[in-house]
Amino acid sequence: MPKVTYIDHHGMATGVDVPVGENVMRGALYNNVEGIAGECGGALSCATCRCYVDDAWTVKVGGPASHEERELLADVVELDAAEGALARNVRLSCQITMTPALDGLVVHLPAKQFF
């Protein structure tokens, strides 16, 4: 089973096994990882499962966020002042589906999720 490492805003790492086909958000929720709320259950409507994909993994998670995901993120995430854009590695963890190729994935969690 692939492993995901969730790193909280203090730098504490929690590694959990997440089944292939499951999303990164549910992996956190099922294993009581603090920092992911998942209020909408993965319906792409709340952005309370925001994470920052580690630079080493940004390409492997399947490219950039979808248009819908980026719109939702733009509503809750501060835009990069210099570029007026979202950080390239910000994602909704409910939109990252685990595959064998993602074994070892590392995501960083924000200090707080928006409610």
CATH number of the domain at 3-108, please? Answer: 3.10.20.30
Supply the pLDDT for residue 56.
92
pLDDT digits (tens, 9 = 90+) for 48-91: 899 999 989 988 997 678 889 888 888 776 554 444 456 778 89
pLDDT digits (tens, 9 = 90+) for 11-26: 999 999 999 999 999 9
Tokens representing residue 9 in the block: 């805003």
Instruction: Taking the CA atoms of 57, 59, 63 and 64 in sequence, report the sign of the dihedral they define.
Output: positive
As a whole number of angstroms, the distance between CA 39 and CA 48 comes to 6
